[in-house]
Amino acid sequence: MNFSFDVIWHNLPYMLAAARWTLLISVGGMAISLVWGVFLCAARISRGPFLSRIAALYISFFRGVPLLVQLLIFYYMLPHVGLDLPAVAAAILAVGMCSAAYTAEILRGALQTIPRGQTEAALALGIPTLSLWRRILVPQAIRIGLPSLTNELILLVKVSSLASVVGIGELTRISQNITGETYRPLEIYVAAAAIYFLINVILSALGRLAENRLLVG
Partner 1 sequence: MGDITTEQPIIEIRNLSKHFDDFEALRDITLDVHRSEVLCLIGPSGSGKSTLLRCINFLEAYDGGEVRLEGELIGWKSAGAPPRKPLSGEALRRQRQHIGMVFQQFNLWPHLTALENVAEALIHVKGLPKAEAMTKARAALAKVNLSDKEANFPANLSGGQQQRVAIARAIAMEPSVMLFDEPTSALDPELVGEVLGVMKQMAAEGMTMVVVTHEMGFAAHVADRVAFLEGGRLVTCAPPADIFGREPDDPRVNAFLKTYRERNVV
Partner 2 sequence: QADMLSDIKAKGKIVAATEMHYAPFDILKDGEYQGICHDLFVEVAKELGVEAEFLDLPWQSILPGLEAGKFDFVNAPVTITAERMSRYNFTLPIGNATVALAKKAGDDSIAKPEDIAGKAVGSQKGSAQLEQLKAFSASLATPADVREYVNIDEALADLAAGRIQAVANSAPLMGYAAVQRPGLFEMVMPPFGEPKYFGWVAPGGEDAKTLIAAINDALIKMHEDGRLQAINEKWLGSNPDLPTTMPDVK
Partner 3 sequence: MELDLFVRYGPALLSGFGVTILCWIVGSLGGLVLGFALACLYRFGPRPLRWLIQAYVEVIRGTPFMIQLFILYFGGPHFGLLLTPVQAGIASFIIYGSPYFAEIFRSGFNAIPKGQIEAARCVGLSEGRILFRIILPQMLVPTTAPLTNFFIILTKETAILSVVTVPELLYETQTMASETFTFVEPFLVLSLFYWLMVIGTSWLGDKVERRVTRHLRRA
Residue ranges in contact with partner 1 by CB under 8 A: 115-118, 120-129, 131, 135-136, 139-140, 143, 214, 216-217
Give the residue ranges of DSSP H helices in the chain. 5-45, 49-64, 67-72, 87-111, 116-125, 129-131, 138-159, 171-182, 185-214
Interface with partner 2, residue 179, by CB under 8 A: yes
Q: Which stretch binds partner 3 (CB under 8 A): 30-38, 45-53, 124-132, 187-195?
A: 187-195
Q: Which of residues 4-43 bind partner 2 (CB under 8 A)?
A: 10-11, 13-14, 17
* Dist CA 29 CA 95 (whole Å): 6
Q: What is the DSSP letter of 166?
A: G
Q: Are residues 144 and 216 in contact, defined by beta-carbon separation less than 8 angstroms?
A: no
Given candidates 30, 173, 187, 191, which one binds partner 2 under the rule CB under 8 A?
A: 173
- The CB-of-181 to partner 2 minimum distance in angstroms stands at 4
Burial label for 162, CB within 10 Å (0-12, 13-18, 19+), is buried
Interface with partner 3, residue 129, by CB under 8 A: no
Interface with partner 3, residue 123, by CB under 8 A: no
* Dist CA 39 CA 104 (whole Å): 8
Which residues of this chain interact with partner 3, rule CB under 8 A?
Answer: 1, 60, 63-67, 69, 102, 105-106, 108-110, 112-113, 116, 143-148, 150-152, 154-155, 158, 161, 172, 185-186, 189-190, 192-194, 196-201, 204, 211, 215
